[in-house]
Structure 1
């Protein structure tokens, strides 16, 4: 976006970010000096910098090269995704710059700037680590907060079992684990290196939480706030937490990734 277009869009969605000038970004990164380069990906470079206010920032610059339109599309999709992400381990956005044909993102500090009706994004081509990818992302390129919930569920299973999500010599972790979870065979799920030396209550809690997170349909996955509750609440609070995730369990609305624990509250 340039000039008036950028201003009108900003007024329409009322963001707390702003459009930086190229001069500001160049000054912050010392003219994109190689010493400030902290990373380079397939379509962008990341530089560290400091604004006049003293705020430290990371600046992602769209790299020049062939297939410019595709790179620009991927770049703007990433901008949209970052606008939704709020996490202490993820840099937040404070603004962007589109000037002189250069597309830049300044990280650290932005708020929600996308139109409210944007509930998810379609991302093409698919990128990510196979084994952690949610079905809706792998099949349709759809990304929302439940995509990460799915990946977290896989991570929990990885911790429980000591197995990688994808192993060329074995079944995928989810395919292997599902029947064991359905039948409650926790001992067979547990990492053999533990030699049975683990707290069964904690192990059951991890498996139960993972089973909710890896549901195929994203609408049946809990938000991370409820995932935290499943992992940390006492037994009485845990039962209430489970009921709040699925107030009324109806088997015909579930899908083939759902586990027996979906319809069982006798944890």
Structure 2
């Protein structure tokens, strides 16, 4: 005979079974087991059976590994962000560092109503200028120049204008507020100038409304532009050659203060260095004669363009046309014949100062001298206009040799001469208004 004990529970539970006492009888006359006194039985021991589940050490290990992985992921994310920023900093160019004020494209898009046509205030060889409102106040108006990036020249103009104009500060220069690059869009943001360009005040506005720019305004504009060029050539930390001085690049404020802008063709030089450009840039009619021969721009070539500009201000006539007319030639002939005041814009009638007109015309002719070394520096030009110095007399040949004829006047490029001159410069192309061949 065998005696044993057994117990069992379900597979999903655990339990402990204890035998605290037992009574057993085998054989004999009375095979009845002795009755147990339950009160005398010892209490059962505490239940030490472990519940099924994860071991505490395993749980701790899982938590620790999860923490380590999370920390490594965060560190990896921080490293990737830092690396991306580091790469961006490595490719920053000088102009981005020197002028970091970058506008958000979204803000410019909203400011110009999505660059609508009714916001256009001007067009140029490289893009369109829009009027915008950063806020509802009219004092927060801006001009947004959207450059057409259809060639490398557009990108070069964009960079040139930021690196040159971004750090310049003068009352007679357009103030560059900032810039924006968005996909293929290149944008420059300026102060908004309400009266538009000098070109429009001389030609477009009189045609539309009959309002003629007064003589006092013209005289002040001439002196203001001279002051701005003096700053560029002599007073800033570097020499800045504008290379495209003309009425459409002069903006006029409400008080008729002029601001020279559009520095897309400008070049910067350290003082004491020389220009080494070998390509022709500028606008036909305002280019100095030496540019068509060597392509080397200088402060003297800016002075020549300024001379043409102030002759245009006084006479109200374009510097050249499709024929053989050249403004400086015409004014010089009138001076030689003693009728220089006949060059004054006839729309002014008698509403001008004769002495001031003679002065400006004389300075303009001196600046348009065919030989660069005979042109005055802008400091002397300003002294002439302020009557601090007398204007030197201009010789009749105006810089030509005796064998040269008037038809060979090199200061202005006619269409025939332009084609022959630029054929020899393979890098040069001519647009409808400007000659642009690189930087």
Question: TM-score over 0.5 for the alignment?
Answer: yes
Q: Distance in 2 between matches of 1:217 and 1:80?
A: 31
Alpha-carbon distance change, 19 to 177 in structure 1, aligned in 2, over 3 angstroms: same
Q: Distance in 1 between matches of 2:159 and 2:361?
A: 37
- 1:29 corresponds in structure 2 to 112
Alpha-carbon distance change, 60 to 232 in structure 1, aligned in 2, over 3 angstroms: same
1:131 to 2:285 alignment: yes
Q: Distance in 1 between matches of 2:161 and 2:305?
A: 18
72, 75, 98: which one pairs with 2:181?
Answer: 98
Q: Distance in 2 between matches of 1:207 and 1:133?
A: 18
- Aligned residues, how many? 228
Q: Distance in 2 between matches of 1:8 and 1:52?
A: 31
1:256 to 2:256 alignment: no
Higher percent of residues as helix: 1
Q: Distance in 1 between matches of 2:362 and 2:384?
A: 8
1:212 to 2:362 alignment: no
Q: Structure 2 matches for 1:171-190, cutoff 5 A?
A: 172-175=326-329, 177-178=331-332, 185=336, 187-190=338-341
Contact 1:162 / 1:190 at 8 angstroms: preserved in 2?
Answer: no
- 2:121 corresponds in structure 1 to 38
Shift of 1:119: 3.4
Q: Structure 2 matches for 1:235-246, cutoff 5 A?
A: 237-239=388-390
* Cα deviation digits, residues 223-259 of structure 1 (max 9, x gap): 55543431332xxx324xx69xxxxxxxxxxx9369x
Shift of 1:106: 0.5
Q: Structure 2 matches for 1:1-267, cutoff 5 A?
A: 3-4=88-89, 9=94, 14-15=98-99, 18-51=101-134, 55-63=140-148, 67-79=150-162, 82-83=165-166, 91-108=174-191, 117=238, 119-120=240-241, 121=267, 126-128=281-283, 130-136=284-290, 147-157=301-311, 165-166=319-320, 170=324, 172-175=326-329, 177-178=331-332, 185=336, 187-191=338-342, 201-202=355-356, 204-216=358-370, 220-224=374-378, 226-233=380-387, 237-239=388-390, 256=399
- 1:247 corresponds in structure 2 to none
Alpha-carbon distance change, 145 to 82 in structure 1, aligned in 2, over 3 angstroms: farther
Q: Which structure has the bigger radius of gyration?
A: 2
Higher relative contact order (Cα pairs below 8 Å, separated by 6+ residues): 1
Q: Distance in 2 between matches of 1:33 and 1:188?
A: 49
Root-mean-square deviation (CA), in Å? Answer: 4.7
- 3-state SS, counterpart of residue 152 of structure 1: helix
Q: Distance in 1 between matches of 2:186 and 2:114?
A: 15
- For structure 2, the residue ranges without an aligned partner over 5 or more in a row are 1-86, 193-230, 242-266, 268-276, 393-397, 402-439
Q: Distance in 2 between matches of 1:84 and 1:142?
A: 25
Contact 1:43 / 1:62 at 8 angstroms: preserved in 2?
Answer: yes
Q: Distance in 1 between matches of 2:327 and 2:117?
A: 42
Contact 1:86 / 1:92 at 8 angstroms: preserved in 2?
Answer: yes
Contact 1:186 / 1:204 at 8 angstroms: preserved in 2?
Answer: no
Shift of 1:135: 3.2
Alpha-carbon distance change, 141 to 85 in structure 1, aligned in 2, over 3 angstroms: farther
- For structure 1, the residue ranges without an aligned partner over 5 or more in a row are 244-254, 259-267
* Cα deviation digits, residues 104-135 of structure 1 (max 9, x gap): 101129xx9xx95563326977453x333333
Contact 1:165 / 1:174 at 8 angstroms: preserved in 2?
Answer: yes
Alpha-carbon distance change, 145 to 105 in structure 1, aligned in 2, over 3 angstroms: farther
